[in-house]
Chain A
Amino acid sequence: MKRAWVANVALICMLPVVAIWASMADEPFIITLATKVAILALAGVGLNMALGQGGLVSLGHAAFFGIGGYAMGILASHAQSYTPLLEWPMLIEGSNSMPVIWLLALVSSGLAALVIGALSLRTNGVYFIMITLAFGQMFYYFSISWPAYGGEDGLAIYMRNGFPGLNTLVPLHFFGLAFAVLLVALALATLIGRSPFGLALNAARQSSERVETAGIRPYRLQLTVFVLSGMVTGLAGALFADLNRFVSPSMFSWQTSGEIMVFVILGGVARLCGPLAGAALFILLEQLLGGISDYWHIFLGALLLLIILFARGGVMGLIAGPGERAHV
């Protein structure tokens, strides 16, 4: 347990150390990369709640990531063009304030997760994977065919949205913000993991019969975590859109769902910092190998294969040792 704790703290500290170093060395691109890692890790932390703790293999988390992205895109594009979002039954203006955008991202991705989860959780195994994938694709094609917000071309937002007290255009400020959100999500995941809810959810993953005969409905436990999971990934989507100042249907694509899952598996399923390790490794490989060859995904695939065959606990399993989950 001690080893896992040290590994987690070291990994978490690495990101701000890199960002601050890059800021002093005047390397804004590196800060942007660190920010990207923090945001993608956040998306992974969201998925890991459902996948790691709940055992729910969702291949549709791009839906929540994209909803978060479009929450930002839609609000900011109205603020940018000074047109109201809605005039009737009440006047709703666009917004370029991150707290407002985040609230919309959380609420809308949470609602979507509630609907998708309520239907998908009636199935399990490969059917669950397929249904979540299908929902993700529905959002993807909807976003392509919806001309009001850019359709296939997506939406460009010229100014990064603001946060009270910070200048989000300064790379280090925006990194700090994304990192702080990641920390909150990690704290939340820890809190849930050790709570009575976490215990019941983990039991439901292992034996739904056990939980049922103890008087608890597994469906409701799983739906609850699916909604939380979708909300966290949705928030990551809003931040990701703000990082790129651009939203497009690709956020909804099943490749996005797959990548978020790759972060989790690469880093270690059900490990607190698994998604962080996975996202960091992913971005690192993308930068290092992407420079060598356009086909760097081949190497990523090989690495993923090795991890799945020989290191089930992912990167965190190698660093932190086995059995983090036992200490719920």
Chain B
Amino acid sequence: MSEVILAAVGISKRFDALQASRDISLDLRRGEIHALIGPNGAGKSTLIQQIAGRLKPDAGRIVLEGRDVTALDTAERARLGIARTFQVSALAMEDTALQNVVLGVLGARGGAYRMWGNALARGSLRDRAEQAVARVGLTNMATTRASALSHGGRRQLEIAVALALDPKAFVMDEPMAGLGTSGSHDLTELLSGLRDEAPVLMVEHDMDAVFALADRISVLVSGEIIATGTVDEIRANSAVRRAYLGEEEGA
């Protein structure tokens, strides 16, 4: 078994009467894409938010490369290497693609409080940002404002910002959401290559993408992980078929 990079250990979270996370344990290993699937309201977003730092779990720990990061906030976890992307793009819409990515480099390397010099001046800051922009195939759009990018372009840009953080792990909330067929095909290829840079934990509804990309799948139902395994194991799992896939596969 390869090395665990990011792990949730015994995570529980309750909102009043709703048990959103029930003793969830999950790990993300080097080189893998780990998909988190489950019906609406299963608690996927709540789990992602606890891993990224926006929500604090009632019980349990989040561990990044052996270090307990449960007490740290979103910004600190991002600096340590948890790169998150959002279901609805969170970008600086008035800024250019390159400016958005420079922000990621600033976060990773520090220097966001430097008040002199041009943020976009030639140098290692910009080089790294341009490299990340090129990696996601947005070089031609580098000086385009985020608001003028297509939906797919914004998705790519979010990934470029995440890449600029030099992350230990990607945590992605529905990267395929709202993309057309060709758009999601392109993004599937991009995501597939990312696992070599850092493992990817992603929530995704697009089952074609999940089955094409995932090395392992975890199935979350009512705040509980009912199964974790390879694509074939999950397809064959009867509990999963009953609880979730059953509706689509027409068992």
Residues on A lying within 8 angstroms of B by beta carbon are: 191-192, 194-200, 202-203, 206-207, 209-217, 220-221, 224, 325-326, 328
The CA-CA distance from A82 to B221 in the complex, in Å, is 79
Chain A residues with Cβ below 8 Å from B96 are 326
Q: Encode B43-71 as 1/0 by CB contact (under 8 A) with A.
A: 00000000010000000000000000000
18 more contacts with CB within 8 A, not counting A194-B120, A215-B75, are A194-B119, A195-B114, A196-B125, A197-B114, A199-B99, A199-B106, A200-B103, A200-B112, A206-B91, A206-B93, A210-B90, A210-B91, A211-B103, A213-B86, A214-B164, A215-B76, A216-B107, A328-B119
- Whether A213 contacts B84 by the Cβ 8 Å rule is yes
Chain A residues with Cβ below 8 Å from B161 are 210, 214
B95: CB under 8 A from chain A?
yes
Chain B residues with Cβ below 8 Å from A326 are 94, 96, 145
- Whether A199 contacts B103 by the Cβ 8 Å rule is yes
**Chain B residue with minimal CB distance to A201?**
B112
- Given that A213-B74, A328-B95 are contacting pairs, would A196 and B90 also be in contact in the complex, using a CB cutoff of 8 Å? no
B86 to chain A, nearest CB (A): 7
A36 to chain B, nearest CB (A): 29
- Whether A207 contacts B91 by the Cβ 8 Å rule is yes
- Whether B112 contacts A196 by the Cβ 8 Å rule is yes
B15: CB under 8 A from chain A?
no
The CA-CA distance from A206 to B96 in the complex, in Å, is 13
Q: Which of A194, A203, A220 contacts B100 (CB 8 A)?
A: A203
The dominant DSSP class at the A interface is: helix
Chain A residues with Cβ below 8 Å from B90 are 207, 209-210, 213
The A/B interface has a contact count, at CB < 8 Å, of 112
Chain A residues with Cβ below 8 Å from B107 are 211, 214-216
B23 to chain A, nearest CB (A): 27
**Chain B residue with minimal CB distance to A225?**
B115
Chain A residues with Cβ below 8 Å from B103 are 199-200, 203, 210-211, 214, 216
The CA-CA distance from A192 to B119 in the complex, in Å, is 10
The CA-CA distance from A297 to B107 in the complex, in Å, is 47
B193: CB under 8 A from chain A?
no
- Whether B102 contacts A212 by the Cβ 8 Å rule is no
Question: Which has the most chain A C-beta neighbours within 10 Å: B103, B106, B108, B164?
Answer: B103
- Whether B78 contacts A197 by the Cβ 8 Å rule is no
B142 to chain A, nearest CB (A): 13
B57 to chain A, nearest CB (A): 18
- Whether A191 contacts B116 by the Cβ 8 Å rule is yes
- Whether B78 contacts A213 by the Cβ 8 Å rule is yes
**Chain A residue with minimal CB distance to B147?**
A206
Chain B residues with Cβ below 8 Å from A224 are 113
- Given that A196-B119, A197-B113, A197-B115 are contacting pairs, would A212 and B93 also be in contact in the complex, using a CB cutoff of 8 Å? no
The CA-CA distance from A328 to B106 in the complex, in Å, is 15
